[in-house]
Amino acid sequence: MVVSERPQSFDGWLDLFLSHLRVSQGASHQTLRAYSSDISDFRAFLGENLNEFAGNQVEVDSELVRSYVTSIYTKVTSSTLARKLSSLRSFYRFLLVRGVVERNPLEGVRSPKQDQRLPTVLSQEDTFRLVDTPLAESDLGVRDRAVLELLYASGLRVGELVGLDIDKVDRAGGWVRVLGKGNKERDVPFGKSAAAALDAWDVERTKWLDAKREVRQKALFISRRCTRLTERSVARLVDKYVLEAAVRLRISPHGLRHTFATHLLEAGADLRHIQELLGHASLSTTQRYTHVQLERLFEVYDNCHPKARRGSDHE
């Protein structure tokens, strides 16, 4: 299939591919960034290893792809290498469908066998200590406590957390509506402890916005400059309190998501309900899981999540 106004460079085709992922597949910003980085790394390799490469060559052969794999094999983990090859495979499939290349050079190039590493998960004791570490006497402490509480109470991805707007949170009802992967919305409950932390943060957030005379900011979590908190800021926040709490394991924001799921499972929650709470796409594409009504999710959450059973006074 030939399209009009075809790009004349590698970068042009990459931009068109990323646009396709964003518009047609609803890819998240984080997913687009990963694809862009992976494919741009391969483009840089082409520039360094093809004498006549002028930025407009996309047709390559499998041997060149294998040379690229060899060049980075000892520099990245097997999971990273597998992701890079998957990104290139998708990119060249996109080009093949549009008649830009005659064959996909990733055909016959195997992805490495990946190590099956278990995710890092905190114990309940360490999790409670981490979440309770931010000082309630400071405005930053109040915000950070709310961030940690909501991460653990809901199992949100960090991108979902920072993307939350204030009108998507029902503190009284104890649930939040998030926009997950593939631009799919889901409602996730949280317990009394997180609700109390969010109530306290709402007071400080209002003070920050009033001080800046900022009335348009809709983000739930903001910086002192009244800008939306970023994923990197949340990662630094978690690192800070992991050190202060002296928990035994290093944990990332995504690690709190794993911890959320593990603690629910250990308490007896059905795996299908946990998958629904996490918003995994497999629920909508396979028959191994069944859709669970929101009311049932709330019931499972209230019965099984350790933080939901604790009072807002953090006994």
Catalytic, out of 181, 272, 310, 314: 181
Count of residues making up the chain: 315
Q: For residue 273, with 0-12 CB atoms within 10 Å meaning exposed, 13-18 middle and 19 or more buried, which class applies?
A: buried
Q: Is 289 a catalytic residue?
A: yes
Catalytic, out of 93, 280, 310, 314: 280
Instruction: Please spell the DSSP secondary structure of 256-291, one letter per residue.
Output: HHHHHHHHHHHTT--HHHHHHHHT-THHHH-SSS--
Q: Is 68 a catalytic residue?
A: no
Strand, helix or coil at 165?
strand
Report which secondary-structure segment, H or E, holds 176: strand 175-179
Q: Is 157 a catalytic residue?
A: yes
* Angstrom distance (rounded) from CA 198 to CA 194: 6
Rounded to the nearest angstrom, the gap between the alpha carbon of residue 98 and the centroid of all alpha carbons in its chain is: 30
DSSP 167: G
* Angstrom distance (rounded) from CA 102 to CA 96: 6
* Angstrom distance (rounded) from CA 91 to CA 88: 5
Catalytic, out of 83, 84, 143, 157: 157
Could you tell me the two tokens for 48? Answer: 């360094």
Q: Is 310 a catalytic residue?
A: no
Q: Is 168 a catalytic residue?
A: no
Report which secondary-structure segment, H or E, holds 65: helix 62-72
Report which secondary-structure segment, H or E, holds 185: strand 185-189
| CA dihedral for 296, 300, 305, 309, sign (positive or negative) | positive
Catalytic, out of 83, 84, 192, 254: 254
Contact call for residues 297 and 173 (beta carbons, < 8 A): no
Q: Is 301 a catalytic residue?
A: no
Report which secondary-structure segment, H or E, holds 94: helix 78-97
Residues annotated as part of the active site = 157, 181, 254, 257, 280, 289
